[in-house]
Amino acid sequence: MFGLSGEKLIILVIIAAFVLGPERLPQYAKQLANLIKSMRRMAEGAKDQLANELGDEYKDLDWKKLDPRQYDPRRIIREALVEDLSPGVSVGATLNAPKVTAQPKLAVGETAPFDSEAT
């Protein structure tokens, strides 16, 4: 919880007991418990509202698939390459295909064309 280990939590409770004193500590503990309960109610309310707005789609939603930690750029690129292919062509055939250059080669001493309106 928030990167706190058991020992650190115990130390924080002891410090709180000394700072607040035995008279006020139960009050603050009760307020903290009420805060946590209200936060849980808000989270449940948000979850219920989302389920009502999404309807039946919410039940079939796979949350693990939407987890950003599952992001693998290599897999996404691989899948995108496979989707763009025609049915009879494999991924390896397109990756090893010779590249076609659309630009004509300049003769020796010829200057490259310049367009002043291009920028």
- Could you tell me if residue 2 is left (phi over 0), alpha (psi between -120 and 50 degrees) or otherwise beta? left
Going by C-beta distance under 8 Å and a sequence separation of 6 or more, which residues neighbour residue 65? none
Report the number of distinct structural domains present in the chain: 1
CB 81 within 8 A of CB 91: yes
- pTM for the full model? 0.41
Is 61 a member of any domain?
A: yes
Tell me which residue range forms the domain holding 22: 6-86
Is 67 a member of any domain?
A: yes
Residues 50, 37: Cα–Cα separation, whole Å = 20
* pLDDT, tens only, 2-44: 677 889 888 988 888 888 888 888 898 899 899 999 999 999 9
Q: So what's the pLDDT on residue 97?
A: 57
pLDDT bin (cut points 50, 70, 90) of residue 95 is low
Is 70 a member of any domain?
A: yes
